[in-house]
Amino acid sequence: MAASAAQSFTTHDLALVLFVCAVVLLVSVLAVRFANRSGMPTLVLYLGIGLVLGNGGLGIEFENPELTQVLGYTALALILAEGGISTRWASIKSSIAPAALLSTVGVLVSVATVGALVVLFLGKSWTIALLLGAIVTSTDAAAVFSVLKRVGLPRRITGVLEAESGFNDAPVVLLVVALADAATPGRTSHEWWFVLFQAAGELIGGALIGLAVGWAFAKVSHRNAPGSSGLFSIGILAVSVLAYATASLAHTSGFIAVYLASLVLGNSNLPHARAVHGFIQSVGWLAQIGLFVLLGMLAAPGRLDAQIVPAIIVGLVLLLVARPLSVFASLAWFHYRWQEQLFLSWAGLRGAVPVVLATVPLTVGTPNTDWIFDLVFVLVLIFTLVQALPMPWIARKLGVAESAHVLDLDVEATPLEELHADVLQLHVGETSRLNGVEIQELRLPRGANVTMIVREDQGFVPGPSTVIRREDQLLLVTTAKAREQAIRRVRSVSRDGRMAGWTTPLRTGQE
């Protein structure tokens, strides 16, 4: 085998592969800047790069759904690890219950709705229709937050979207595999109640394994962290991958395990936290680029035309009927306003997960399902653009956008880490009542201060009497202890003006 490999792959081939990969990565990195300016999700650009490289473009042969599925699962595990590490518990803790309901009950409502309407409009069998519904129902964190970072949203909305995208991959994967088995002759299938019972057991088992692995290694890391931040970052990534592998070997959900283990690690005050976040984020980007380009190469442009109309029908059913029903059925119990529920319905972007799951029927051998991959690919491509481009406008029209929003900044500075400090960026929007407020009137908590203002591309250090203006960018440095109070204070003044806290109580629950 080694001799055969040596004869079939030479150093010249290696140089060519490295050249192509390096060019793809450089183009992908440059595409992010274009995407940020235009509002277009990066996944559309990466899928386009894959199409250009594949059979319909430069002619690189790639037609292996089994390999795509294996590499896709690997990439999804790394993307979920990055999502867990980067997610702050404070931002999602109030959204855990609604997100969990949306990722389970909401998924079932969405699958049943899409399945019923696919039977009605496309004439497919119930099993195949439900399989298609399960494939397209999962939302994608990378797709959602590449768009939402341009929109200032309250925590109760971003928390649900963030937690849902981390939770819903696991139940959807289990459901797709079960439905593909049921639609394949010769494969073992079970009654629906047994499938639900088994799925619940796998989710609970994976969650327990993920929490246990994350907690154990968080304790160990504080006592035995190496001096090298790079080496420690590799170790944290290995722990996340270990959680996925352990759960999978135990026949439980590896996806929920890797997300929860990473969530625990990311919120345990790790040593070298900034370096860990930077490294994991780089790995997540690499996984996204590789996955989307790979999926683009697997698609055959010559077959996509035939699926445009069916993809539009399924996409409209999903966007206008199934997703709203799943959101309303899941969130009506948590006192979300109808405007917030409408926005959450629109913001459920699809990404890599549905396209990866579309390879499952191909690898299982489900008959007459070759068209599913092409339909899902076209659906993701079209509806990502349809939903993403007008999203900031929709948020403003529904009244869910904040006039001033705060972003975390990753600053590579050891003194900040030693002081347990954070750096935040504050953008003052057009309707924010921060306009005209002096710095001292913010009444920030002890340990928080505005250290710089950027106005019309000119930066300066403000004094206590400096007046904040619209479109200012403020740099806010705060200790970890004062962080949440400072954010609440800024949002309250932005909403209620300089007298916030005197005439109206500060909102602390669901901002």
pLDDT tens, the chain, 511 aa long: 444 444 577 887 889 889 988 998 898 888 877 776 666 777 888 888 888 888 777 878 888 888 888 998 999 899 899 988 988 887 788 888 999 999 999 999 999 999 999 999 998 999 999 999 999 998 876 666 666 666 677 778 888 888 888 888 889 998 998 899 888 887 766 677 777 788 889 999 999 999 999 999 988 887 776 667 788 899 999 999 999 999 999 999 999 999 999 999 998 888 877 788 889 989 988 998 988 888 888 888 888 899 999 999 999 999 999 999 999 999 988 989 999 999 999 988 888 889 899 999 988 888 988 899 999 999 999 998 898 888 888 888 898 877 666 666 555 544 555 557 788 888 888 888 898 999 999 989 988 999 999 998 889 999 999 999 988 999 988 888 888 888 888 888 888 888 776 655 555 444 4
**Using CA atoms, how far apart are residues 295 and 314, in angstroms rounded to an integer?**
20
Q: How far is CA 294 from the centre of its chain?
A: 19
> Helix, strand or coil for residue 270?
coil
Question: Which CA distances in Å does 353 have to 72, 288, 456?
Answer: 8, 11, 41
Q: Maximum distance among all alpha carbons in the chain?
A: 80
Contact present, 284 and 81 (Cβ < 8 Å): yes
Number of Cβ atoms within 10 Å of the Cβ of 403: 19
**Using CA atoms, how far apart are residues 375 and 135, in angstroms rounded to an integer?**
11
Contact present, 164 and 99 (Cβ < 8 Å): yes
Q: Strands 448-455, 421-428: parallel, antiparallel or unpaired by DSSP? A: unpaired
Secondary-structure breakdown of the chain: helix, strand, coil percentages, each rounded to the nearest 5? 70, 5, 25
Q: What is the DSSP string of 143-205?
A: HHHHHHTTS---HHHHHHHHHHHHHTHHHHHHHHHHHHHHTSTTS----HHHHHHHHHHHHHH
Residue type at 482 in one-letter notation: A
Which of 348, 365, 415 is closest to 136 using CA atoms?
A: 348
Which of 232, 179, 167 is closest to 206 using CA atoms?
A: 167
Task: Provide the angle, in degrees to the nearest 10, between the axes of the packed helices 254-266 and 169-182.
Answer: 170
Contact present, 260 and 58 (Cβ < 8 Å): no
Which of 218, 340, 200 is closest to 268 using CA atoms?
A: 218
Per-residue model confidence as pLDDT tens digits over 256-275? 999 999 999 998 888 877 78
Sheet with strand 421-428: strands edge to edge: 404-409, 421-428, 473-479, 448-455, 458-460
Q: Taking the alpha carbons of 455, 458, 464, 465 in that order, is the dihedral positive or negative?
A: negative
Per-residue model confidence as pLDDT tens digits over 73-124? 999 899 899 988 988 887 788 888 999 999 999 999 999 999 999 999 998 9
Which of 106, 178, 174 is closest to 139 using CA atoms?
A: 106
Domains in the chain (CATH in brackets) are 10-397 (1.20.1530.20), 404-496 (3.30.70.1450)
Which of 19, 30, 67, 15 is closest to 297 using CA atoms?
A: 67
